[in-house]
Chain A
Amino acid sequence: MSVAESIIRLSAAELADRIATGDVSSVEVTQAHLDRIAAVDEAVHAFLHVAPDAALAAAAEIDRRRAAGEVLGPLAGVPIAVKDVLVTKDMPSTSGSKILEGWIPPYDATVVRRVREAGLIPLGKTNMDEFAMGSSTEHSAYGPTHNPWALDRIPGGSGGGSAAAVASYEAPIALGSDTGGSIRQPAHVTGTVGVKPTYGAVSRYGAIALASSLDQIGPVTRTVLDAGLLQDVIAGHDKHDSTSLRDVWPSMADAVRRADVSGLRIGIVTQLDGEGFQAGVLARFHEALALLERNGAEIVEISAPSFEYAIAAYYLILPAEASSNLAKFDSVRFGLRVNPADGGTVEQVMAATREAGFGPEVKRRIILGTYALSAGYYDAYYGSAQKVRTLVQRDFDAAFDRVDVLASPTAPTTAFKLGEKLEDPMAMYLNDIATIPANLAGIPGISLPAGLADEDGLPVGIQFLAPAREDARLYNIGGALERLLEEQWGGPLLGRAPDLTELVAALAEEGVR
């Protein structure tokens, strides 16, 4: 394995250590990842925009500061991929939509500012379902991302780009956003780690809003420790976001380092265990729980009857908020403008622009949300959905009276084939059945690899949920389970992924034939 090859296999924590000791420079690390992107991203399509010059310049600046003896943060010099939902001053920010093609915002999202200030090196912007609406990244206006485990399969969504970038070693860590599972479900299907923090733990300022009361920014990584290190960088109060919490957070990285599950009470949600879940997904889930039990955890069955209504509530609240959040895309101040052939009034220009600029899923949800909020329907749909939200919260409250964390498979199936569910919106929506309740209640969730499904050899994730503000519990159990599983496996699950360069070469050959 070449030096560059070995660099990209390192975790962010390991890279940070090597950079700190002067073993490698940030420029070398950054270059290695840029080379990897150049080699495999044509096949994976994790990135919508790569910024080699800016990344190398930022890396050189970190190397200079370190050489000058400055004390830098724990992740300084480590490259990071940024989901295109986050606005960046120096890179186009499209949220996966044609309506924002080429738009370069005049400001940085707070999380982007924080990672820059922490010395991380943004490599580029990652692909996503348009405006984060989807579970497969097939709704990106710029073409789908491919799962590094099987290029003909979905990488999950909406943050398939960030998950695939990390899974294919194009970036050690990435930022994602999770409105109904967009960080956790891609982690599940790509054999990576994804965390949705407590709502309000991480600023939403500069995150292009999908559903304001559900959106949360979080880490996308290959290890639980890396996720903890990244959450330590991005969490904290932001005066630009009214819903940002003022809590002083304990170190999530420390929680991973001290991980221990003995005495921990884990609840299994009966509603998320059984019907509708793939056999291989359930098998790995139960093995993981058994492993935890053998190491001192207590497993308890928990019923959450309102979860049955969570998807329905989610698909009313999300479209409603989205229909309003997406009204600003009107061709006046930024983004695409389409003038109708015969000129037209500003109203007609707006309608033509939105017709041309939004993809089918976005239109579907805007129309649905407009319906749910319109006169005569509000109480029945939006109002009722907000009540279901209360019921889901009550289920969680009751559960967390009895257990420390809840567990479920992250998603019902392993990665399905590209195109398989594109024409069936309801089937696509069911992918989020296990992840949505956390967003409705604002609580934190983590997905980490649990193994490979027997029937297709594809990755399976396990999800843990904790009460609001108890993110550290997730890092504790996640860190512990990761260590136990990797002891069994003899290394990280991603080590068992097919060699991408071989897949790419095979693909090229196929293209020739």
Chain B
Amino acid sequence: MVRPELMDFDKALELFEPVMGFEVHVELNTKTKMFSSAPNEFGSEPNTNVTPTCLGLPGSLPVVNEQAIRYSISLGLALGCSIAESSRFARKNYFYPDTPKNYQISQYDEPIAFEGSVEVELSDGSITTVPIERAHMEEDAGKLTHVGGSTGRIQGAEYSLVDYNRAGVPLVEIVTKPIYGAEHASPELARAYVVAIRDIVVSLGISDARMERGNLRCDANVSLRPRRTPGEDPAPLGTRTETKNVNSLRSVERAVRYEIQRQAAILAAGGRITQETRHWHEDTGRTSAGRPKSDADDYRYFPEPDLLPVVPSPELIEELRAALPEAPAMRRRRLKAEWGFTDLEFQDIANAGLLAEVAETVAAGASPAAARKWWTGEIARLANAAETDAASLVSPPDVAALAALVEKGVLTDRLARQVLEGVVAGEGTPQQVVDSRGLAVVSDDGALITAIDAALASQPDVLEKIRDGKVQAAGAVIGAVMKTLRGQADAARVRELVLERASGDA
């Protein structure tokens, strides 16, 4: 394969305006599938979560999962969409061995939700509104494994194996309208949009939203159109490509950047873009051509005769609307204001994905500053070292308790770090670790004075130096005291006592 020429990204943006569109598939975490009572479960032995309907056996029929309808309406509302008074399912006809009936039950001309928008925040704190065209319900396909050949990919495989456990898992497909004006931030916006969708479905609790498991999948449409001088009518939309197989947030960003650079190179050289699906390859960081759009896309949609219209009552819609959690974008704005952070400080937390943790820690009584300091500092460091999520190490109430112990002077920062290690190691709550490890600050002046006296005895000239104005000489005594008390002393108090002694002896 000849490596396609890529144009420099900045140069590409100089010549062309990128226009994007996304189709995000969200797998719902209902207990059963969209149209059958088989379990919706990941990781089972192949072909165990199946009924005659999942296998498309002759005579089998679909029946709609009510919970999937409720979830879809909730998602539609969270996307700011209108909920259709009446929506219906259609058959999308195409042959593929992972599609048991060789048609997919989807929604076509009457989706359950339409016309909405999602606010997406970029790393500079700016907000972009992504217009949503529709969100519709459909069923997932089974899983193909390609065997033989060198790569485990479809090309060159000798045969394929089919597992229908995933066939019929409920999906909502969220389709955006064309997104204009993102310019240089296009790749970042792509990523941020998927993050925003993920945040929404997680806050609704309707999907596990794990991209690596395919709970959340993004197809990215990219086209370019030539720049025009101001005042001129905008150029018509260019031919778009649809990049599939984009299975991580990082890939979404990279794939969009790649397509912009690839298409710009072709267009600048006088070439034409082929309307086609393209496949993202995580390993090489490239897309490759898939099937061109053609007659094969004649899906012969028609209303699914085995199913009936979905006509949600206004009461149901209002019930679900009332139960919606705060929109993630709104929540960010509210939290930022409440906590009084700078943009940079807030982005620090948001980009680390620790908003929920910090919020819960503050709710448990810690100051926003302390909560931020612990989560983005020591806990993030420990998580990094352990290659795991910060949230899995320690609970927000424990972090709040730790911050309180520091606040009260029971712990110094250094001691608190030791206590945190104990909590992470499963030794109990911060207070339990303090007690069992005996890590509390020695706050008894008598004990401190005894230690100071012992230190002064071996360094008798210190008091003299302090009286001569060399206050920094106290440092040596403080160091010795801390050593004696294994760090469990408040250095500031020790300093005070040493200075008192110097002035008192004068």
Contacts and interface: CB of A to CB of B under 8 A. Distances in A.
A323 B299 CA distance: 12
A239 B63 contact: yes
A324 B58 contact: no
A221 interface: no
Contacts, number: 103
B61 A205 contact: yes
Contact of A205 (B59, B101, B298): B59
Interface stretch (B8-16, B91-99, B395-403, B418-426): B91-99
Nearest to A382: B302
Interface in A368-396: 370, 373-375, 378, 382
B306 interface: yes
Contacts of A105: 52, 57-59
B60 interface: yes
Nearest to B308: A242
A374 B295 CA distance: 10
Nearest to A107: B52
A513 interface: no
Contact of A204 (B61, B100, B164, B307): B61
B306 A242 contact: yes
A321 B59 contact: no
Q: How many of chain B's residues touch chain A, expressed as a range?
A: 20 to 34
A327 B57 contact: no
Given A107-B57, A205-B61, A327-B93, A321 B305 contact: yes
B56 A212 contact: no
A106 B102 contact: no
B298 A333 contact: no
Interface in A211-256: 211-213, 239-243
A320 interface: yes
Given A375-B298, A378-B302, A328 B59 contact: no
Given A239-B63, A327-B95, A374-B298, A346 B160 contact: yes
Interface string A159-195: 0000000000000000000000000000000000000
A106 B298 CA distance: 34
B38 to A, nearest CB: 13
A70 B100 CA distance: 43
Contact of A206 (B59, B63, B162, B164): B59
B449 interface: no
Interface string B53-72: 00111111111100000000
Nearest to B297: A375
Interface in A294-330: 320-321, 323-324, 327-330
A86 B61 CA distance: 13
Given A328-B101, A333-B55, A333-B100, A242 B62 contact: yes
A93 interface: yes
Nearest to A350: B95
A208 interface: yes
A337 to B, nearest CB: 12
B59 A324 contact: no
Given A373-B300, A374-B298, A374-B300, A327 B59 contact: no
Contacts of A202: none
A435 B302 CA distance: 25
Contacts of A330: 95, 97, 102
A323 B300 CA distance: 10
A213 B58 contact: no
Given A320-B302, A373-B300, A328 B56 contact: yes
Contacts of A106: 52, 57
Contacts of A243: 305-306, 308
A373 B59 contact: no
Given A242-B64, A370-B300, A86 B306 contact: no
A474 to B, nearest CB: 25
Contact of B63 (A242, A332, A334): A242
Contacts of A109: 59
Contact of B306 (A100, A212, A320): A212
A237 to B, nearest CB: 12
Contacts of B103: 324, 327
A498 B307 CA distance: 47
Interface of B: 52, 55-64, 91, 93, 95, 97, 100-103, 160, 162, 164, 298, 300-302, 305-308
Interface of A: 86-87, 93, 95, 100, 103, 105-107, 109, 204-209, 211-213, 239-243, 320-321, 323-324, 327-330, 332-334, 346-347, 350, 370, 373-375, 378, 382
11 contacts: A87-B57, A105-B52, A242-B308, A321-B305, A323-B93, A323-B300, A328-B102, A333-B100, A347-B95, A373-B301, A374-B298
Given A103-B58, A205-B61, A346-B97, 5 more contacts: A208-B58, A208-B59, A209-B306, A328-B56, A373-B300
